[in-house]
Structure 1
Amino acid sequence: MTLASMLQWEEGNQTRVAHWHSENGIAPHKRVVIADDTLTADDAYRLACEGTAILWRGDFQNARQLLQALVRRIDKPSKKSKRAGKRVDKSSNEAVQKTATDIFNQHRLIHSQRARILGMLLIECNADHTISLRRAPDVSLACLEAYGAVSESYVISLRELLGVISAHEWRKNGVPILADSEGEPIFVHPHYGVFSPVRGEYIELICNTPLPKSLNEESIAFDIGVGTGVLSIILALRGVQKIVATDMDERALVCAQENIEHLELGSQVEIVKANLFPEGRASLVVCNPPWLPARPSSSLEHAVYDPDSRMLKGFLNGLSEHVVADGEGWLILSDLAEHLGLRTRKELLEWIEQSGLVVLGRVDTRPKHPKASSETDLLYFARSAEVTSLWRLGIKT
């Protein structure tokens, strides 16, 4: 557990301290007040907006209700934002392209400010991960899974704690990825901090794209950035005899290993800690890098944001040295970054060519998640046009 520093506050005419934990890397709050069920939502919202953290000592379920009240106040659109929305000129494609990145940056700023305010409501957890509040749930197992064993009490935001609880439920119940030969669903169990395979379109691409013929001679594949292990599992179920899956994140390595063992695929899949590629060459190398070239604001965002497209470029630059001559590299990538003005198709094709690769083919699919059809979403103009592709890449001869 990464408990970087201490949180200090005044309570009962005494100065108290506890370890402070934030997955977002937020520093300990300088101003902290004690609050209970008598605090109104309006007062809590004012304090949070002013930068004052609220350490909760009342009923736990009332704290959850207070957090929802804060959400409603934050998400209520202002008259100013409504007027700004009406001024967007959608008649000119050129105008939309020029402002796409600005809209994306505005979207991130809004979410960052939202997270900052909602993160001001704090909960103290005991050294055994229990909570000493009325009607508090038993979160000890969920926190142990997320943070490991600790020796002292610590303080986290209620919002983060609820994320830990949700992650525990996902880990316990699993996420269906496909069906077996008898039509029964096959599940993977995401761990806290590991990106969950909730977007099924890229899974369908891996399931349906014909495997390269070179696998008939040497049935070895590499899975770069294993995450939950979902792509390795699909390749194993499709008959690939040996898959070497890599990642640098400890949570992902543990998560993938547990999923592989749960499905009894350990004889086919080997989990290795490595920066991108393992040693040797494979007939098939698959990679589903983060889709947006932007800086993550927390450790949990590394699965979404790839600063300067480092992982994408690293995969392309190293592929020719790790795939057999007649093998294939499969790059699963959304074009959302292109619609947001963060990357162009020309740049992507130039990176492929500069890496000594050629495009053998491409399989496209449309996203099915709710935001793609939500016109109230600030990024609807990009999400509605998004296409997810499996790029089949080979070595240039």
Structure 2
Amino acid sequence: MSQTISWQENEINHLVQWHSESGARPPRRIVPVNDTLTADEALKLAHEGAGLLWQGDYQNARQLLQAMTRRLDKRTARKKEKNSQENIRDVFNLYRLGQAQRARLLGMLLIRIEPGFNIALRRAPDLQQACAQVYAHTSAFVVSLRELLGVIGAYEWRRNGVPVPQAGGKIHPFYGVFSPVRGEYLQLLDQAPLPETCQTAFDIGTGTGVLSIILAKRGVQRIVATDMQERAVECARFNIANLGYEQVITVEQRYFFPEGKADLIVCNPPWLPAKPSSPLEQAVYDPDSAMLKGFLQNLPAHLNRNGQGWLILSDLAEHLGLRSREDLLEWIRQAGLTVLERHDIKPHHAKVADTTDLLHAARKAEVTSLWRLVVQD
């Protein structure tokens, strides 16, 4: 069901469709604003629940958003000092709450997009191609500037691609599909020894299709990749065809396992057992570890004799107090599985070295593992 926003300007009533990829509800009221608005005034109105419909220069809107962000980040820095001695799990919950509040406030700066994905603002760039990859509207609609900038960034990622040496080329992530920017888990997949017999493989929750492509490059002859998200299915099919593996890899839209059995089944589920605050967070957060547990419980029924299941998982949740290693090992045991071998690697992304990050200690201790699982005799 589509939602709308309305406001009155010059005694004229306006009614326009509202769109939010994150599922955010439309603001309670709309205030038309322009270049005279300051960042402090904007944040005050945002705190009051007002959506700020921008009618000034487009580039000035971007500068205003940056100024609002700087002010919020300063407030967050003060809170970090205050909460630095809290329990790590409480710190994580406060961190998520702060991120959600930050996103809500910054999301109050709005842009109207006209039919044909045109923006009728001074110095507005041509965003037709970027918007056409995400939005399906034929009439005018309103989005947050923050979301629109995310769409633009995703368009550039998709156009330029992400170099992945293990895949033999570039992977092109679509908007809303998790990008393979953390190369350590790809290195694990590329180096772990394959089962003695490995003609077939399943890739559960394929995303961009990068894991399937690496397995195909390693010589697996038939691979079925699955994902429940339509965008992910389209993204995986694009990357697979672009790198020449469409005769080896089939992509199906489904939640978990395809029909039949395989010699190798890989899964890189969301790493943190928490509730996503938006659809875009589903690649990161797995409520109650539902996908992780589901993969383990159903794995034995889909493995060929002497087959292996490869679980790629960070232990960040353990360092945040969200899941214990004992929990994971017990779920593996309950599924009738045993650990053949575990391959570990330390992450090397920028946040590991960011000492200002509230979760720095947990990120610094993080290890990503590839668990090679087999059915118990």
Instruction: Give the structure-2-normalised TM-score.
Output: 0.97
CA distance in 2, matches of 1:76, 1:4: 36
Establish whether residue 169 from structure 1 lines up as the match of residue 156 from structure 2.
Answer: yes
- Pair 1:200-2:148 in alignment: no
1:238 alignment partner, one of 212, 218, 230: 218
Residue of structure 2 equivalent to 1:93: none
Residue 381 (1) aligns with residue 361 (2): yes
Aligned pairs (5 A) from 1:62-211: 62-77=60-75, 81=79, 83-85=81-83, 88=85, 99-148=87-136, 150-178=137-165, 186-211=169-194
Cα distance in 2 for partners of 1:162, 1:77 equals 23
Letter in 2 for 1:270: T
**Structure 1 residue 41 corresponds to structure 2 residue 39:** yes
Work out whether residues 202 and 223 of structure 2, in 8 Å CA contact, stay in contact via their aligned partners in 1.
yes
User: 3-state SS of the aligned residue for 2:301?
Assistant: coil
Specify which of 288, 292, 315 is matched with residue 295 of structure 2: 315
| Residue identity opposite 1:205 in structure 2 | L
Q: CA deviation at 1:171?
A: 0.4
Separation in structure 2 between the aligned mates of residue 27 and residue 166 of structure 1, nearest angstrom: 23
Structure 1's 315 and 82: CA in aligned 2 closer, same or farther, altered over 3 A?
A: closer
| CA shift digits 1:205-242 (9 cap, x unpaired) | 00111111121xxx000000010000001001111110
SS in 1 for 2:165: strand
For 1:242-301, what per-residue CA distance to the aligned partner results, in whole angstroms no more than 9, with x for missing partners?
000001100000000011111111110000112210011100000000000000011110
Cα 1:41–1:177, aligned 2, differ >3 Å: closer, same or farther? Answer: same
How far apart, CA to CA, are the structure 2 residues paired with 1:262 and 1:78?
Answer: 43
**1:274 — aligned with what?**
254
Distance in 1 separating the partners of 2:77 and 2:124: 38
Residue number in structure 2 paired with 1:328: 308
Q: How big is the shift at 1:45?
A: 1.8
Equivalent residue, structure 2, for 1:4: 2
In 2, the alpha carbon distance for the partners of 1:85 and 1:48 equals 25
Letter of the structure 1 residue corresponding to residue 126 of structure 2? D
**C-alpha distance in 2 between matches for 1:167 and 1:102:** 32
Q: Does residue 352 in structure 1 map to residue 332 in structure 2?
A: yes
Pairing 1:17-32 to 2, within 5 Å after superposition: 17-32=15-30
Partner Cα separation in structure 2 for residue 312 and residue 147 of structure 1: 31
Match of 1:298 among 260, 265, 278: 278
Deviation at 1:12, TM superposition (A): 2.0
State the shift of 1:83 in Å: 4.9
3-state SS of the aligned residue for 1:384? helix
Unaligned runs of 5+ in 2: none
Q: Is the 8 A contact 2:205 2:225 kept in 1?
A: yes
Residues 89 and 320, structure 2, Cα contact 8 Å, conserved in 1: yes
Runs of 4+ more than 2 Å apart: 77-83
Q: 1: CA distance between counterparts of 2:185 and 2:194?
A: 15
- Give CA-to-partner distance per residue, 1:121-169, whole Å, 9 cap, x none: 0000012111111111111111110123x22110000000000000000
**Identity across matched positions, percent:** 57
291-300 or 36-45, which moves further after superposition? 36-45
Q: RMSD over aligned Cα, in angstroms?
A: 1.4
Amino acid at match of 2:109: L
Find the aligned partners of 2:141 and 2:181 in 1 and give their Cα distance.
31
CA distance in 2 between counterparts of 1:264 and 1:316 reads 31
SS at match of 1:155: strand
**In the alignment, structure 1 residue 213 sits paired with structure 2 residue 196:** yes
Q: Deviations over 1:335-390 (max 9, x none)?
A: 00001111000000000000000000000000111111111000011101000000
* Equivalent pair of 2:227/2:254 in contact (CA under 8 Å): yes
8 A Cα contact 2:226 2:257, kept in partner: yes
SS across alignment from 1:244: strand
Looking at structure 2, the residues matched to 202 and 78 of structure 1 have their Cα atoms a distance apart, in angstroms, of 31
Cα distance in 1 for residues equivalent to 2:151 and 2:77: 35
Match of 1:362, SS?
Answer: strand
Does 2:245 align with 1:262?
no
Alignment partner of 1:342 out of 292, 313, 322: 322
Q: Report how many aligned residue pairs link the two structures.
A: 377
Paired with 2:29 and 2:178, the residues of 1 have a C-alpha distance of 33
Whether the 8 Å CA contact 2:166–2:190 is kept in 1: the answer is: no
